[in-house]
């Protein structure tokens, strides 16, 4: 196949399973609660066999049964029947691993859970076609079919005529009408589905007619003047960039939300050059010579409100925008990061390094497959806990990923908030109560990180007389230069949060 030509479909169970797992991991970062995705054990779901599939009179062959055995399922238990979790636009996966299916004697006990209703599609599907996702009862939407013979995914919409794709067969006979629908390779479908979730839809349409005409005219004029100012008069108007970015920070928020802001910035610099306007008051630089001029400018180029998004207790050394507080905290923590202090820590780092090497040796000896990224995360957590708080996490022994601090979620939430600094106080206040699962997950992750910091600091402060120093020793011993008072426990927790 020549470079650039579209991929031709071939069936591979492992490819479909891999693409589906990647897709579900993507959805759990957006909105799908992680606990509703059920992953099969090694070897697949034990109960899903050809006999099990035949017991539901689905008329499917062994290849379909084998696929059903190895894929993850999105939960659809009894409590989910009224509002099942959507994995695509108005589509919910058929759950063959849940309590509803396992409690049914055969498909006729709950027929709408497994196949396309006969009144909507009167033709029988071939034995090699698996109904992967259905439309929730009483609604319109998409049925998702997996053709295990051809290696394709078919997107059927029974309410409207589906626009065919390059793999569709628009001339298929009526009894095989499903083949006329939009058809994709496994990779094409999941890429397309991810792009749909990444894209921001227009939330509101500006009405052309309004009962209060004068107000409408005033708003139109105001928007026009603001646009003219940002695009032609503003001090950054001479720098190129996306038109929307010159008017609002929403452009950056959209790109970050879609998880491709770094790629978008690279593309912008390739298109516009070394300096690009990415916000009404923000520039992005690609020049190496600009780095020292920006980061060593001190008060001339102060930190922006973006850093407020990282604040969980009070602003710490990393996030504070107060130059006096920043200078004082640097002096108070300087000794902990001196060369002599680092040398004293080497012995403790070495002890954790030995555990790390022992784990590597064990995996090498047993030929076990392992995730090096997770192993490094366990090592780093143990080192930080020991050096910062003399706290033993023992994560290299337990190897429990659920106990790893949710750093990525905290950083992602901070960046999202930082993209809309004017609304940050309001968003911080209401985010724990926003009824969107992934927002609640991010808020809960930050709270868990705060709780872990509080636990570590209190454990350390309960043993102040130990001879060995750690990273927060200088904070415990620090005194206010004017009043001579000690730092409060909250002050220490604020700075210690950055160590996590």
Q: How far is residue 202 from each of residues 45, 206, 379, measured CA to CA in Å?
A: 42, 10, 45
Beta carbons of 73 and 38 less than 8 angstroms apart: yes
Q: Quick one: pLDDT at residue 295?
A: 79
Computed on alpha carbons and rounded to an integer, the radius of gyration of the chain in Å comes to: 28
Q: Is the pLDDT of residue 79 over 50?
A: yes
> Lowest-confidence range among 43-57, 192-206, 446-460?
192-206
User: Cα separation of 304 and 314, whole Å?
Assistant: 16
pLDDT in tens, 224-276: 888 888 988 899 999 999 999 999 998 998 898 888 899 999 999 999 999 99
Q: Which residue has the higher pLDDT, 216 or 112?
A: 216
Q: Which residue has the higher pLDDT, 161 or 396?
A: 396
> Which residue in 342, 332, 312 sits closest to 448, CA to CA?
312
Provide the mean pLDDT of the chain.
Answer: 82
pLDDT in tens, 34-47: 888 999 999 999 98
User: Cα separation of 409 and 446, whole Å?
Assistant: 7
Q: Quick one: pLDDT at residue 472?
A: 83
User: Cα separation of 179 and 167, whole Å?
Assistant: 9
Q: Quick one: pLDDT at residue 109?
A: 44
Please list, residue by residue across 139-171, b when 16 or more beta carbons sit within 10 angstroms of its beta carbon and e when fewer do.
eebbbbbbbbebbbbbbbbbeeebeebebbeee
| Confidence tier at 431 by pLDDT (50, 70, 90) | confident
Domain positions in the chain are: 13-208, 215-301, 331-499
Q: Quick one: pLDDT at residue 160?
A: 65
Average pLDDT over residues 197-212: 42
Q: Is the pLDDT of residue 483 over 70?
A: yes
> Lowest-confidence range among 257-261, 430-434, 464-468?
464-468
Residue 122, helix vs strand vs coil: coil
User: What are 475's two structure tokens?
Assistant: 């904070």
Give phi and psi for 37, each to the nearest 5. -90, 120
| Confidence tier at 201 by pLDDT (50, 70, 90) | very low
DSSP 225: H
Q: Quick one: pLDDT at residue 104?
A: 62
| Share above pLDDT 70 across residues of the chain, in percent, rounded to a whole number | 85
Contacts within 8 Å (CB) and 24+ apart, 349-357: 349/383, 349/387, 352/379, 352/382, 352/383, 352/386, 352/396, 353/379, 355/379, 355/382, 355/396, 355/397, 356/396
CATH number of 331-499: 1.10.630.10
Q: Quick one: pLDDT at residue 115?
A: 66
Q: Is the pLDDT of residue 61 over 60?
A: yes
Q: Is the pLDDT of residue 291 over 70?
A: yes
Q: Is the pLDDT of residue 210 over 60?
A: no
User: Cα separation of 59 and 128, whole Å?
Assistant: 9
Average pLDDT over residues 198-227: 55
User: Cα separation of 59 and 78, whole Å?
Assistant: 25
Q: Quick one: pLDDT at residue 205?
A: 30
DSSP 145: E
User: Cα separation of 432 and 496, whole Å?
Assistant: 23
pLDDT in tens, 347-402: 899 999 999 999 999 999 999 999 999 999 999 999 998 888 888 899 999 999 88
Q: Is the pLDDT of residue 453 over 80?
A: yes
Count helices and strands (H / E) in the chain.
18, 9
| Share above pLDDT 90 across residues of the chain, in percent, rounded to a whole number | 29
User: Cα separation of 111 and 58, whole Å?
Assistant: 10
Q: Quick one: pLDDT at residue 352?
A: 93
Q: Is the pLDDT of residue 72 over 60?
A: yes
In degrees to the nearest 10, what's the CA dihedral of 381, 384, 390, 393? 0
DSSP 67: H
Q: Which residue has the higher pLDDT, 52 or 24?
A: 24
């Amino acid at each position: 196949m020549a470079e650039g030509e579209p991929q031709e479909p071939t069936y591979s169970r492992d490819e479909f399973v891999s693409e589906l797992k990647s897709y579900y991991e993507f959805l759990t970062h957006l909105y799908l609660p992680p606990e509703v995705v059920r992953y099969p054990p090694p070897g697949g779901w034990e109960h899903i066999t050809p006999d099990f599939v035949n017991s539901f009179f689905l008329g499917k062959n062994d290849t379909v049964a084998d696929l059903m055995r190895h894929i993850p399922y999105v939960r659809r238990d009894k409590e989910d029947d009224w509002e099942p979790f959507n994995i695509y636009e108005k589509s919910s996966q058929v759950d063959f691993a849940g309590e509803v299916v396992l409690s049914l004697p055969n498909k006729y006990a709950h027929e709408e859970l497994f196949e396309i209703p006969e009144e909507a599609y009167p033709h029988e599907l071939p034995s090699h076609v698996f109904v992967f996702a259905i439309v929730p009862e009483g609604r319109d939407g998409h049925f998702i079919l997996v053709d295990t013979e051809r290696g394709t995914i078919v997107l059927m919409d029974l309410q409207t005529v589906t626009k065919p794709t390059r793999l569709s067969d628009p001339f298929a006979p009526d009894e095989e009408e499903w083949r006329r629908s939009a058809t994709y390779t496994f990779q094409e479908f999941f890429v397309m589905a991810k792009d749909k979730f990444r894209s921001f839809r227009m939330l509101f349409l500006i009405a052309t007619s309004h009962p209060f005409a004068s107000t409408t005219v005033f708003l139109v004029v105001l928007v026009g003047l603001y646009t003219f100012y940002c695009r032609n008069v503003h001090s950054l108007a001479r720098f190129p960039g996306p038109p929307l970015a010159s008017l609002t920070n929403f452009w950056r928020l959209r790109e970050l939300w879609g998880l491709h802001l770094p790629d978008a910035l690279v593309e912008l610099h390739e298109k516009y050059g070394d300096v690009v306007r990415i916000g009404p008051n923000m520039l992005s630089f690609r020049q190496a010579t600009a780095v020292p001029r920006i980061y060593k400018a001190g008060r001339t180029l102060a930190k922006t409100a973006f850093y407020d998004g990282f604040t969980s207790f009070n602003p710490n050394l990393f996030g504070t925008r107060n130059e006096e507080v920043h200078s004082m905290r640097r002096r108070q923590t300087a000794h902990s990061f001196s060369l002599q202090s680092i040398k004293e820590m080497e012995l403790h780092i070495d002890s954790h390094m030995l555990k790390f090497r022992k784990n590597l040796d064990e995996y090498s000896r047993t030929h076990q497959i392992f995730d090096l990224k997770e192993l490094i995360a366990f090592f780093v957590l143990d080192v930080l806990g020991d050096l910062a708080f003399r706290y033993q996490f023992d994560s290299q022994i337990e190897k429990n990923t659920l106990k790893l601090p949710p750093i990525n979620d905290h950083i992602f939430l901070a960046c999202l908030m930082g993209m809309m600094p004017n609304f940050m106080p309001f968003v911080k206040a209401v985010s724990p109560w926003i009824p969107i699962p992934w927002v609640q997950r991010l808020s809960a992750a930050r709270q868990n990180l705060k709780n872990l910091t509080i636990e570590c600091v209190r454990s350390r402060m309960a043993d102040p007389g130990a001879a060995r120093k750690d990273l927060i020793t200088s904070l415990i011993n620090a005194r206010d230069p004017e009043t001579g008072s000690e730092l409060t426990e909250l002050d220490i927790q604020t700075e210690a949060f950055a160590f996590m």
